[in-house]
Structure formats: structure tokens, C-alpha cells
């Protein structure tokens, strides 16, 4: 099927000049730089190491032996922190993985919607090609708009390239732009059903697909707008802080200056686990652990345009330096 409906001019030029700097990205390889590993926690590690050095100096050279602390208490506290961090990391990963599963559903249902459009609509070839192409571009626009809205970026960036002037004006005047675009798709199918171009039973199948897309949008918004319990996060950080304060005191008497690197290593493990949980609990932020929604939207765009036989297909978004948008 060849598409005769075209979005705004300049779409291919814009697609080839997608901005990579300051863009939301996601890791796509196992190995990444030490700086990325440390940049979120290096301030804390530096402070802990300096503090451990001070404890060693005061204990060894100023004879502040009262700084010694029972190692058994430190062991118990470290075990408790490990359990707390395990629960926090699992909870954060559950949020991230749910977001990724939802976008997998969006990819599948977007393909299903266009296949249903191609198969279910009964009209002459030219009219059918135009209607299906219009619905395809609306669905692509919805994906980009949803990704942008979740990231709190200008919602119609990329999406406006797939909207007509009237569709753009309608969506831009709505508070929830992705919902408005989905509403436009519903209007198209409803009109086709009323005109007898889609049978009632088949229209119900399409409506179920649209309902799943709406559900996916709601799930993403729920994850985005539900804050991870602040009290729990603060408590974990507080316990780690207390642990790092007493850790060198429990080690300095038995192992001397070796307490400094040991404190650094143990503190690194706890601080980094907390940092992992922090960045993963919000999968729709502008960070390297973000769900690659722009890349997924581009995949959807390519797949849908191929389904309708469009002559101009944008290129895939390829990873740069091990990350993808």
C-alpha cells in the first residue's frame, strides 16, 4: 500500500538531525566509563575517605583512643543496611521494568492498530490509502507526544511533523496532548464505523486496541506521577551516613591505616547501590538509565511507515558511546 498523505514538510531533514546532546539516553552495553560510575557519588566518597583519614590520624598520632568503636555493632548495622538496600533496589527496579514492559506493549499495539486499519477498513483504494496513512501518522505522533510529556519536554516536538494543521491546533489546545491525539484517532475510526466502512465486530476489536493504548498511557503517567516514598529513601540515606561515620572507628584499632581504603570500598558499595536505586526509581527522567522512549518511538515510526508502504522511511537511532536516546 502506498501512502498519499504526507506530514509537515521537512520531516526527513529533521529526523537526520536529531539532537544527541543533553538528550535522554539509556545504556545499551555492559561496560561503561568509571566517571559515569562515580559521578553521582564521588562527593560522598571523597568526604568519607577524608573523614576516615582524619580518624586514623587522630587515633594513631593524637592518641584519641576513645574513637575506637565495637566492630560487632558495625557488623550488625551493615547487615541491616544490606537488607534495606536490597528491598530499595528491588522496588526501584520493579518501577523501571514496569515502564519498559509498558513501552513494549505500546510498540506491539501500535503495529496491531495499523494492521487492523489496513485489513478492516472497506473503501476504494485511494480513500483507504489516505485514511490509513492519516491514522498511521497520528499514531506515530501519539508515541512521540507521550514520550515528551513523560519527560516534561515540549510535547509536540517530533509529533508535530506527523500532524496536519487542524490536528496540531486541536492537540495544542488540550491539557493532555497525548490523550488528545488518541482522541483524534478514536474520532477517525468512529467516523469510519458510522459511514459503514468498518463492520461493528471489527470496530470493537479496534476499540479494544485503542483501550490498551490508553491503559498503557495511564500506566506511564502513574509511574511518572507516583513519587517513591521520600521517608524511606531518607531513612536509608541516614542509616548509610551513620554507618560511614562509625565504620573507620571500628576498623582503625585492628588494621590501622588499612582502614582508610577499606572504608572507601565498603562505602562505595553502599553509596553506589543507593545511587542505582535512586536513578532507576524514575524511568522517565533525562538520565542514562531512562527508558529509551525516543528510540522506541522511532522504531514504531519505521515499522508503521513500512506497513503502509511509505516511500520515505527515517533511519534508526543508533547508539552513541554505548547509550541510546
Looking at residue 20, what is its pLDDT? Answer: 32
Looking at residue 289, what is its pLDDT? Answer: 77
Q: Mean per-residue pLDDT for 240-251?
A: 91
Residue 279 CA, chain-centre distance (Å), reads: 10
Grade residue 168 by pLDDT with cuts at 50, 70 and 90.
very high
pLDDT over 50 at 82, yes or no: yes
Q: Mean per-residue pLDDT for 32-41?
A: 69
Grade residue 324 by pLDDT with cuts at 50, 70 and 90.
low
pLDDT in tens, 146-167: 999 999 999 998 899 999 999 9
Mean pLDDT estimate for the chain: 86
| Stated pTM of the model | 0.82
pLDDT in tens, 189-216: 999 999 999 999 999 999 999 999 999 9
Q: Mean per-residue pLDDT for 168-177?
A: 95
Structural contact between residues 140 and 162, judged by C-beta atoms closer than 8 angstroms? yes
Residue % of the chain over a pLDDT of 70: 87
All 3 cell numbers of residue 289? 538509565
Closest CA to 299 of 121, 147, 134: 147
All 3 cell numbers of residue 161? 511533523
- What distances in angstroms separate CA 293 from CA 21, 290, 311, one per listed residue? 16, 8, 24
Beta-carbon contacts of residue 205 (< 8 Å; ≥ 6 apart):
116, 120
What does the H/E/C string look like for the chain?
A: CCCCCCCCCCHHHHHCCCCCCCCCCEECCCCCCHHHHHCCCHHHHHHHHHHHHHHHHHHHHCCCHHHCCCHHHHHHHHHHHHHHHHHHHHHHHHHHHHHHHHHHHHHHHHHHHHHHHHHHCCCCHHHHHHHHHHHHHHHHHHHHHHHHHHCCCCCCCCHHHHCCHHHHHHHHCCCCHHHHHHHHHHHHHHHHHHCCCCCHHHHHHHHHHHHHHHHHHHHHHHHHHCCCCHHHHHHHHHHHHHHHHHHHHHHHHHHHHHHHHHHHHHHHHHHHHHHHHHHHCCCCCCCCECCCHHHHHHHHHHHHHHHCCCCCCCCCCCCECCEEC
Residue 194 CA, chain-centre distance (Å), reads: 39
pLDDT over 50 at 32, yes or no: yes
pLDDT over 90 at 232, yes or no: no
pLDDT over 60 at 142, yes or no: yes
Q: Which residue has the cell 509536540?
A: 156
Looking at residue 38, what is its pLDDT? Answer: 74
Grade residue 94 by pLDDT with cuts at 50, 70 and 90.
very high
pLDDT over 60 at 302, yes or no: yes
Grade residue 33 by pLDDT with cuts at 50, 70 and 90.
low
Structural contact between residues 322 and 28, judged by C-beta atoms closer than 8 angstroms? yes
Amino acid at each position: 500500500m502506498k501512502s498519499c498523505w504526507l506530514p509537515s514538510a521537512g520531516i526527513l531533514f529533521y529526523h537526520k538531525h536529531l539532537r544527541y546532546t543533553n538528550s535522554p539516553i539509556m545504556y545499551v552495553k555492559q561496560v561503561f566509563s568509571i566517571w559515569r560510575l562515580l559521578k553521582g557519588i564521588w562527593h560522598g566518597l571523597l568526604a568519607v575517605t577524608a573523614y576516615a583519614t582524619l580518624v586514623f590520624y587522630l587515633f594513631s598520632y593524637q592518641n584519641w583512643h576513645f574513637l575506637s568503636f565495637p566492630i560487632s555493632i558495625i557488623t550488625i548495622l551493615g547487615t541491616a543496611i544490606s537488607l534495606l538496600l536490597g528491598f530499595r533496589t528491588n522496588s526501584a527496579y520493579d518501577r523501571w521494568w514496569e515502564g519498559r514492559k509498558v513501552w513494549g506493549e505500546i510498540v506491539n499495539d501500535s503495529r496491531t492498530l495499523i494492521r487492523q486499519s489496513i485489513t478492516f477498513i472497506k473503501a476504494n483504494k485511494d480513500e483507504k490509502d489516505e485514511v490509513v496513512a492519516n491514522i498511521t501518522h497520528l499514531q506515530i505522533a501519539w508515541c512521540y507526544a507521550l514520550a515528551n510529556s513523560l519527560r516534561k519536554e515540549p510535547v509536540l516536538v517530533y509529533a508535530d511533523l506527523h500532524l496536519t494543521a487542524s490536528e496540531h491546533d486541536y492537540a495544542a489546545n488540550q491539557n493532555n496532548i497525548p490523550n488528545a491525539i488518541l482522541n483524534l484517532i478514536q474520532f477517525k475510526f468512529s467516523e469510519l464505523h458510522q459511514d459503514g466502512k468498518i463492520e461493528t465486530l471489527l470496530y470493537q476489536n479496534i476499540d479494544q486496541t485503542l483501550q490498551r493504548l490508553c491503559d498503557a498511557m495511564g500506566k506511564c503517567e502513574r509511574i511518572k506521577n507516583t513519587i517513591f516514598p521520600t521517608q524511606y529513601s531518607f531513612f536509608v540515606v541516614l542509616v548509610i551516613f551513620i554507618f560511614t561515620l562509625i565504620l573507620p572507628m571500628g576498623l582503625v584499632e585492628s588494621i590501622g591505616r588499612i582502614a582508610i581504603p577499606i572504608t572507601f570500598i565498603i562505602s562505595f558499595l553502599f553509596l553506589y547501590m543507593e545511587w542505582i536505586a535512586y536513578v532507576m526509581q524514575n524511568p522517565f527522567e533525562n538520565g542514562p538509565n531512562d527508558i529509551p522512549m525516543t528510540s522506541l518511538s522511532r522504531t514504531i515510526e519505521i515499522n508503521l511507515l513500512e506497513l503502509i508502504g511509505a516511500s520515505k522511511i527515517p533511519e534508526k537511532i543508533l547508539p552513541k558511546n554505548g547509550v541510546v536516546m
